Structure 1
Amino acid sequence: MPEMRIGVKVADDRGTVTIEIGSTESLASSFALNLDQLTKLIRLLGQARSRMVEGKPKEPLDGKTVETVFDPPWYVQVASIDGSLLAFDHPSYGPLAYAIPRADIARIVHTLTEHLALPAEQPDKPS
């Protein structure tokens, strides 16, 4: 498979994005998308990625650098899976939701309770 080059440029009015895709050996194709179309493309790419990693072992996140979103809109509710549903609006990927089993909720509550026992600080951004 030839090397690919991909470029993304948001319009000055932030109403559209132009995406260029092509091999390093040929001319690139470009197309413009509005926000709804871009969100749909991100969702479809996420679904494709999900199929590609299906069956592969899940790697722990401990010690890894992950993209941090500060203060997104969020929602939590008891889920029908004997757990909870946590949803938030990620600025890069749109609305995301996680069904979290009861045992994991207990671990999260324990960790957050320990956090609340610490002296309150007012950092500008998460570390």
Structure 2
Amino acid sequence: MQLTPIDDHFYLTKDEPNRSCLLALRDIILAQDPDITAEWKYNMPFFCYKGKMFCYLWIHTKRQWPFLGMVEGKHLHHPYLTFEDRARIKIMIFNPEEDLPVDTIRFILNAAIDLYRSGLIKLPKRKS
């Protein structure tokens, strides 16, 4: 994937192995569905599904490991997802020294997309 200057600042200023882990997560997310777009919101890399905030990447404060934050996590039930101190968002933390559980990540992303497809999470109205 081509990086933008904002991506350069966030991803490429991270030390290894976090940098490679975050870039791999970015590619997995963007490859999940053509309606997922990378955006910059709240000073962090966000991913939107058809214009609605979907998920984001960040570094866990205590562990200093990358994590995937699922915006509508309260509707997702998977043992790898945790609320920690959040009410709505669940996160999945990754040890950057280990292989990513790609199938699990794809499963969780697909379950989240289904929330939007089903209408449980309302999408913004398309401009005509």
TM-score, length of structure 1 as denominator length: 0.24
The higher radius of gyration belongs to 1
The structure with higher relative contact order (CA 8 Å, sep 6+) is: 2
Q: Which protein is richer in strand relative to its size?
A: 1
Q: Which protein is richer in helix relative to its size?
A: 2
